[in-house]
Amino acid sequence: MTAKVIKFRSPVYIFSSAAVGTDKEKNGPLGEYFDITSPDAKFGCDTFEKGESEMLRVAVNAALKKASLHEKELELFLAGDLMNQCTASTFALLDYGIPFAGLYGACSTMAEALALGSILIDSSHFSLIGTAVSSNFCTAERQFRVPLEYGSRKPPTAQWTVTGAGAVILSNKPRDLRGTDINKKEANSVAVVEALIGRMVDLGITDAANMGAAMAPAAADTILRYFRETGRTPDEFDIIATGDLGEEGVKLCRDLLAGEGLDLGSRHKDCGVLIYGEGNSNKNGERMSGGSGCACSAVVLAGYFARLFANQKIKRLLFVGTGAMMSPQSVMQGLSIPGIAHAVTIEAM
């Protein structure tokens, strides 16, 4: 028995969500959907690493505030990031004193957290779970490629790691039932109703500057499995969103799906393409194939998609987080870069 679509007995409500970024994200086409942005990628800290933790904490606090929740009401936190040994999440969440389970799914971590968190709530052992992820361009460059100070140039297939953090609070109850709705516009209930945990797929990509190509086969695998197993058709969704394939990866993913007879059409959006806009900001070389990083899909979900749901512009979303499983060592030792993609179905209730 391999990957299966899990249908929850009860909807797992998105109690609240928050998206945090920097001015670069604010100046993109989705800028207005961020809850908080800062001109400072260090968020007032003395290192980018500490700043990433601070950013994640700011996102969690914003999500808690929107939901009028105290942190101690959360029974569990599922979080992860791209930094060495998930330290951005660790130090962000340390002071909350909440049970914590660290996750690592590379850029798919938000989808992994939503999938696992929703199943945990559906188990009835939990009623309120926090999820959050972060990424920072500067910490990711040092972690995975070369420190910024080296001034290396990137090929057009490379992607720009989003500096941001997204937080989503999951609950077994819709928020308006608690009488704590502080923002009518976002009070429409939205819930995770299905989850599909992905498997790793490796087509032999070894270029750490072409993550989109590494992740596209996994995205196609998960999307195909979802539609084959459920018997649903893409037109039942308003948006089918991949995490951070970028322009390169999107083309490959569409080709792979077309080869299997599946056409997602214009309802396929890629968070990596959406976040900095298509083509237009490419001129200064600071966008390349699109955005990436744990925060990429997380902020687009927690900010933009959340607003589309709140404004009743969309009613059903297939959110497919994509991750490239690699480390500097694995790349230097000549190993390929397997991709993974986890999916959750999110619906207006």
Give me the residues that bind a second copy (CB under 8 A), please. 1-4, 6, 47, 49-50, 72-76, 80, 82-87, 90-91, 93-94, 97-106, 112, 115-116, 119-120, 122-125, 127-128, 197-200, 202, 325-330, 333, 335, 338, 340, 342
Q: Based on CB atoms, which residue is closest to a second copy, 188 or 230?
A: 230
State the Cα–Cα distance between residues 214 and 221, nearest whole angstrom: 12
State the Cα–Cα distance between residues 202 and 217, nearest whole angstrom: 7
The amino acid at 332:
M
CB of 11 to a second copy, least distance (A): 15
Q: Based on CB atoms, which residue is closest to a second copy, 30 or 218?
A: 218
Cα angle at 6 between 4 and 8, to 5 degrees?
Answer: 175
Among candidate residues 46, 23, 45, the one with its CA nearest the CA of residue 34? 23
Q: Based on CB atoms, which residue is closest to a second copy, 100 or 234?
A: 100
Q: Based on CB atoms, which residue is closest to a second copy, 31 or 102?
A: 102
CB of 343 to a second copy, least distance (A): 11
CB of 280 to a second copy, least distance (A): 32
CB of 73 to a second copy, least distance (A): 6
Q: Based on CB atoms, which residue is closest to a second copy, 101 or 348?
A: 101
CB of 157 to a second copy, least distance (A): 20
Phi, psi (degrees; rounded to nearest 5) at 326: -155, 165
CB of 322 to a second copy, least distance (A): 14
State the Cα–Cα distance between residues 242 and 245, nearest whole angstrom: 7
Q: Based on CB atoms, which residue is closest to a second copy, 49 or 186?
A: 49
The amino acid at 187:
A
State the Cα–Cα distance between residues 245 and 289, nearest whole angstrom: 8
Quickly count: other Cβ atoms within 10 Å of residue 164's Cβ.
Answer: 37
The amino acid at 131:
T
Map tokens 């993109």 to a residue: 28
State the Cα–Cα distance between residues 201 and 341, nearest whole angstrom: 9
